[in-house]
Amino acid sequence: MQQTNKKQHLAGLVMLSLTAIFWGAGFVLNDNLLNAAFFATPNLINTLRFGVSAILLGAIFARKLRFNKKIILYAGIGGILLFGGFTLQLIGLKYTTPSHNGFFTASYIIFVPFISWILLKKRPCWQMFAGVGVAIVGLLILNLYGIIKDGTSNTAAGDLLTLAGAVLFAAQIALTDYAYSKKAVDFPNMTFWQILTGAVLFTLYTLIFESKHYSSITFDASYCVWRLLIVILCGTAFAYLAQSYAQKHLSSTETSLVLACESPIGALISIITGVETFVWTTVVGGMMVIAAVLIIEFIPRLSARRKLNEPSVDTPVSTAALDKEENNEEHINPPS
Q: Is the pLDDT of residue 51 over 80?
A: yes
DSSP output for 124-142: PPHHHHHHHHHHHHHHHHH
How many residues are listed for the chain in this entry? 336
Would you put residue 316 in left (φ > 0), alpha (ψ -120 to 50) or beta? beta
Prediction pTM value: 0.77
What one-character DSSP code corresponds to residue 64? T
Q: d(Cα 263, Cα 285) in Å, to the nearest integer?
A: 9
pLDDT digits (tens, 9 = 90+) for 93-131: 777 766 666 777 777 887 888 888 888 787 777 777 888
C-alpha span between 117 and 103 (Å, rounded): 23
Cβ 99 vs Cβ 143: under 8 Å: yes
How many C-beta neighbours within 10 Å does residue 239 have?
A: 26
Name the residue type at position 142: L
Residue pair 197/79 in contact by the 8 Å Cβ criterion: yes
Number of neighbours of residue 54 by Cβ within 10 angstroms:
23
What are the pLDDT digits (tens) for 259-284?
A: 878 777 877 887 787 766 777 777 78
Over residues 190-226, the pLDDT tens digits come to 999 999 999 999 999 999 999 999 988 888 888 999 9
C-alpha to C-alpha distances, 323 to 88, 319, 326, nearest whole angstrom: 70, 6, 5
Would you give the DSSP letter of residue 21?
H
Residue 102: which of 168, 158, 18 has the closest Cα? Answer: 158
